[in-house]
Amino acid sequence: MALEIVKIGTYRKGLLSRAHVDIIALDYDWWYSLAETDDQLEPGEKPMPLSPDGLMYYGRIKQALQPDEPTWPDTFGHTTIAEAMQALALKLGKRVRWQ
């Protein structure tokens, strides 16, 4: 499966501007794959379990709205869209308006 943008939002970046964020779905643990590629896995380390629908959800700030891989998530993986939305808002320390 390719990267899929499942939710789009905006947050106040300054007094007069807003910036986009998104939640993406991947069918693998992105952070585990990165560590594996960089030969940085701990002995016995396993990928996080995927959600029941076989996906992992990540929040993005810097690469929001970019529909293709490679990408770089700004949150850890989550098994629900709602968890990823909450993690992204906490990371930003700002309210996100979701579409």
Element spanning 8, H or E: strand 4-12
Confidence band (pLDDT; 50, 70, 90) for 15? confident
- Taking a C-beta distance cutoff of 8 angstroms, is the pair 83, 90 a contact? no
Given a cut of 80, is residue 1 above it in pLDDT? no
Q: Is 47 exposed, middle or buried (0-12, 13-18, 19+ CB in 10 A)?
A: middle
Average pLDDT, the chain: 96
57 bridge partner residues: 25, 78
Q: Where are the domains of the chain?
A: 4-98
Please tell me the predicted confidence (pLDDT) of residue 4.
97
Q: Give backbone dihedrals phi and psi of 89, rounded to 5 degrees, phi first.
A: -65, -40
Rounded Cα–Cα distance for residues 40 and 45 (Å): 10
- The answer to whether the beta carbons of residues 23 and 6 sit under 8 Å apart is yes
Average pLDDT over residues 62-67: 97
CA dist., res. 90 & res. 79, Å (int): 17
Dump pLDDT digits (tens) for 76-93: 999 999 999 999 999 999
pLDDT level of residue 45 (50, 70, 90 thresholds): very high
At 14, the pLDDT band (50, 70, 90 cuts) reads: confident
How confident is the model over 19-46, as a mean pLDDT?
Answer: 96
